[in-house]
Amino acid sequence: MNEKYYVIIVDDEYLAQKLLQDYVSKVESLRLVATCSNAFEAMEALKNNAVDIMLLDIQMPDLTGLELVKSLEKKPAVIFTTAYSEYAVDAFNLSVVDYLLKPFDFPRFFQAINKAIGDVQPKTEETHKVAADSISKSNDFITVKADYKLYKINYDDLLFIEGQHEYVTFHTTQRRITALFALKDLEEILPKDKFVRVHKSYIVSFKHIQDLDKSDVTVAGNKVPVGASYRDELLSRLQ
């Protein structure tokens, strides 16, 4: 069983977001599903995703982290991440898991995550369902639900897929479609005779490959990086 705990970050400071994203990426059992800059984005993320753990700043514009937690009827395990110590009592009165005072290091973060993990039931890769976006496939196309629309993407029109943290962007001959999904899950879904993983962040259409150099592959005029660990397989398929 591949247990996963699904996390959102809520912080209005860019550097704080990046630090938390880095910390989350270091814990194998965590998967980041959304990064939010305010409480309203967090509400939308909670509505559209099954979230186990929320890393939540307190001082934010319009609605504070404390006010957000108070407003939730059903909430995930909450870890406050804040520069202000004076809210600790109020936070623990809301039954939050932990209270991290900025700046905090990774060992302190990991300690809080372990406490949160003890409070939630883990998901598996097979059973976790994203409420907002989903993907199904047929022999010739996939359908992608994103932005409250259902898109049909023919395999022949799909040039490459770019992974961007918790999102993927489908680059097609007509448009780009961004959905909340994992690139490694797509690698399993897409037909292997038509698509190949060339980088930790890219899957490309074998049909649309034009040329390969030392570090890039050209796909319908687009330069896509090739990772060292993927290069041999790509070369073997091109020869």
Are the C-beta atoms of 75 and 97 separated by less than 8 Å?
no
Query: How many C-beta neighbours within 10 Å does residue 84 have?
Result: 12
Query: Is the predicted pLDDT of residue 33 greater than 80, yes or no?
Result: yes
How many Cβ atoms from other residues are within 10 Å of residue 46's Cβ? 21
Q: How far is the C-alpha of 191 from the C-alpha of 173, rounded, in Å?
A: 19
More confident residue, 171 or 95: 171
Output the pLDDT for position 110. 95
pTM of the entire predicted model: 0.53
Q: Go through 217-238 and write b for each residue having 16 or more CB atoms within 10 A of its CB, e for each that does not.
A: bebbeeebebeeebbeebeeee
First vs last C-alpha separation in the chain: 38
Residue 79 and residue 116 in contact, taking contact as beta carbons nearer than 8 Å: yes
Residue 34: both structure tokens together: 């959304």
Tell me the pLDDT band of 220, cut-offs 50, 70 and 90.
very high
Domains annotated on the chain, with CATH: 3-124 (3.40.50.2300), 134-238 (2.40.50.1020)
Each residue's pLDDT tens digit, 158-206: 999 998 766 788 999 999 888 877 788 888 889 999 999 999 999 999 9
Are 155 and 205 contacting, i.e. CB atoms less than 8 angstroms apart?
Answer: yes
pLDDT band at 129 (very low <50, low <70, confident <90, very high): very low
